[in-house]
Amino acid sequence: MKKAISLLILMLVLFLAACGGSEEDTSSDASGESAETASSGEEAEESAEPVEIEFWHAMSGPHEEAINSFADAFNEENENVTVKPVNQGSYDDLEQKIMAAAKAGNLPDMAQSVTNVVPEYIANDFLVPLNDLIEDADVGMSDEELNDIIEVFRESSSWDGTFYSLPFSKSTRVLFYNQTMLDEAGLEVPATWDELREVAAQLTTDGTVGMGFENSFEAEFQGILKQLGGTYIDEETAEAHFASQEGIEAITFMNDMIDEGIARTAGEDSYMSNPFGRGDVAMYIGSSAGIPHVGAAVENGMEWSTAPIPELDGEKATTFAGNDIVLFNQSEDAETKAAWEFLKYLTSEEVTTEWAMLSGYLPVRYSAQESDEYQSYLEENPAFKAGPEQFDAGFFIARVPGGDAVRNIVLEELDYIIQDQKSVEEGLTSAQDRANEALQQ
Q: Would you call 188 exposed, middle or buried from its count of C-beta atoms within 10 A (0-12, 13-18, 19+)? A: exposed
Chain residues 152-191 in contact with other proteins, contact rule CB under 8 A: none
Alpha carbon of residue 16 to chain centroid: 38
Q: Rg of the chain's alpha carbons, rounded to an integer?
A: 24
Least distance from other proteins to the Cβ atom of residue 192, Å: 29
| Interface with other proteins, residue 14, by CB under 8 A | yes
CB atoms within 10 A of CB 13: 10
Name the residue nearer to other proteins (CB basis): 6 or 205: 6
Binding other proteins (rule: CB under 8 A), the pick from 31, 60, 245, 270 is 270
Backbone phi, psi, residue 220, to 5°: -70, -35
> Among 140, 139, 108, 136, which Cα is nearest to 121's?
108
> Among 319, 179, 198, which Cα is nearest to 257's?
198
Binding other proteins (rule: CB under 8 A), the pick from 267, 296, 375, 376 is 267
Element (H, E) at 418: helix 403-418
Least distance from other proteins to the Cβ atom of residue 408, Å: 6
CB of 238 closer than 8 Å to CB of 439: yes
Amino acid 410 reads V
From the list 22-30, 142-150, 241-249, 387-395, the region that binds other proteins by CB under 8 A is 22-30
Least distance from other proteins to the Cβ atom of residue 289, Å: 16
Compute the distance between CA of residue 346 and CA of residue 313 in angstroms, rounded to an integer.
39
Question: x/- string (CB under 8 A) for other proteins, residues 109-128?
Answer: -----------x---xxx--
Q: Is 420 helix (H, G, I), strand (E, B) or coil?
A: coil
Name the residue nearer to other proteins (CB basis): 330 or 371: 330
Residues shown for the chain: 441
Residues that bind other proteins (rule: CB under 8 A) add up to a total of 49
Q: Is 168 helix (H, G, I), strand (E, B) or coil?
A: strand
From the list 35-43, 142-150, 261-269, 320-328, the region that binds other proteins by CB under 8 A is 261-269
Name the residue nearer to other proteins (CB basis): 120 or 148: 120
Compute the distance between CA of residue 278 and CA of residue 37 in angstroms, rounded to an integer.
44
Name the residue nearer to other proteins (CB basis): 16 or 185: 16
Binding other proteins (rule: CB under 8 A), the pick from 33, 52, 54, 95 is 95
Question: x/- string (CB under 8 A) for other proteins, residues 330-369?
Answer: ----------------------------------------
Q: Would you call 7 exposed, middle or buried from its count of C-beta atoms within 10 A (0-12, 13-18, 19+)? A: exposed
Chain residues 389-418 in contact with other proteins, contact rule CB under 8 A: 401-402, 404-405, 408, 411-412, 415-416
Name the residue nearer to other proteins (CB basis): 99 or 298: 99
CB of 56 closer than 8 Å to CB of 25: no
Angle at 124 between CA 121 and CA 125, to 5 degrees: 80
Binding residues (CB under 8 A) for other proteins: these are 1-3, 6-7, 10, 13-23, 25-27, 92, 95-96, 99, 102-103, 120, 124-126, 215, 267-270, 280, 401-402, 404-405, 408, 411-412, 415-416, 419, 421, 438, 441
